[in-house]
Structure 1
Amino acid sequence: MTRMAAVFTLLSCMASASALGASSCPFPEGMQASIGASKQVIEARHAGVAKDDLLTRMSPGLNGQMSQLLNNIVDEVYDHPALLPEVYAAYRFEHCFVSQQHAEQVAAMKFADAYPLLKKCEQLHPEGTRPPCAMRVVHTVTGIPE
């Protein structure tokens, strides 16, 4: 996928998500959007799209909550060493899901605390065990029971 194709795919994903409503992560559409955006941002990074270029191209037309969600995803993906898409997307999915009931606790969560646990999830075999591990990371870091 070319750099521009990655950016335009991301933009179209988030543009459709911006019409979802007031919540930055409404159930279930916001969770689905967070998975798609997570994978697209990782692809853009791997394709060599600069963080600032990605942020500049995606901002127009997004509502405040969806823009904030996407900015958080871009920051996490670009400001830390790469994670496997399946691990990061599962983490983001659970992050969104748990925020429905525990918004303040999830908002206070620092990705830097979750990152080393997510790297451990990448080491699990078989591969199907990685997403559930990544989802548990949200609970481990926030202290919110599963």
Structure 2
Amino acid sequence: MTKMVVVFTLLGYMVLASALAASDCPFPQGMQASIGASKQAIEARQAGVAKDDLLARVSPDANPQMSRLLKSIVDEVYDYPALRPEVYAAYRFEHCFVSQQHTEQMSAMKFADAWPLLKKCEQIEPEGARPPCAMRVVHRVTGIPE
């Protein structure tokens, strides 16, 4: 019995390690960071912080996966018309979560395809329905089932 637990635990770590190696959004740090970084990037843009200044704040000593994640968030926030923080953060959280198991499909996803759908999510009332709508955008654009 103890051997089986050790084998399953080891297999779990192997799966986690391969997901970390393949995904640009390391689990669970990337999921947590995607929410905070999304909101901070939007706040920085609204405050008039230049994109290059914000990118310069990404530590060169950071984990390469986290650096890529943060840079892609800054690119999306600055290169497209503004989205509400709760909509973009929910989208990014789901993007990160789905990328854990569907790395190739997610890496092929273009934010340009998601942006108009996210903009529609902003129009939904009540406000609490916006984040689930934004999370579904990831699945609509990629075709990955929820």
Query: Hey, which bits of structure 1, 4+ residues long, moved more than 3 A?
Result: 21-24
Other-structure match for 1:84: 84
For 2:57 and 2:98, the matched residues in 1 are separated by 29
Aligned position for 2:136: 136
- 2-structure distance, mates of 1:25, 1:131: 19
Q: CA deviation at 1:62?
A: 1.4
1:58, distance to aligned residue in structure 2 (A): 1.8
Tell me how far apart the structure 2 counterparts of residues 119 and 41 of structure 1 sit (CA, whole Å): 17
TM-score by length of 2: 0.82
SS in structure 1 of the partner of residue 66 of structure 2: helix
The answer to whether the Cα contact below 8 Å between 2:31 and 2:97 also exists between their aligned partners in 1 is yes
Aligned to 2:93: 93
Contact 2:26 2:65 in 1 (8 A): no
Give the aligned length: 126
For 1:115, the equivalent position in structure 2 comes to 115
Letter in 2 for 1:36: G
Task: Report the equivalent of 2:55.
Answer: 55
SS at match of 1:35: helix
Structure 1: which amino acid aligns with 2:39?
K
Bigger CA drift: 34-43 or 51-60?
51-60
Aligned to 1:74: 74
Range 126-135 or range 58-67, more displaced: 58-67
Paired with 2:109 and 2:40, the residues of 1 have a C-alpha distance of 23
Residue segments in structure 1 that go unaligned for 5+ positions in a row: 1-20
Q: Which has the larger radius of gyration?
A: 2
The aligned counterpart of 1:105 is 105
Q: Is the 8 A contact 2:30 2:69 kept in 1?
A: no
Partner of 1:17: none
Structure 2 unmatched ranges of 5 or more: 1-19
2-side partners of 1:35 and 1:44: how far apart? 14
Instruction: Report the alpha carbon displacement of residue 29 of structure 1 after superposing the two structures with TM.
Output: 2.4
Q: Aligned-pair RMSD on alpha carbons?
A: 1.3
Give me the whole-angstrom Cα distance separating, in 2, the residues matched to 1:46 and 1:100.
31
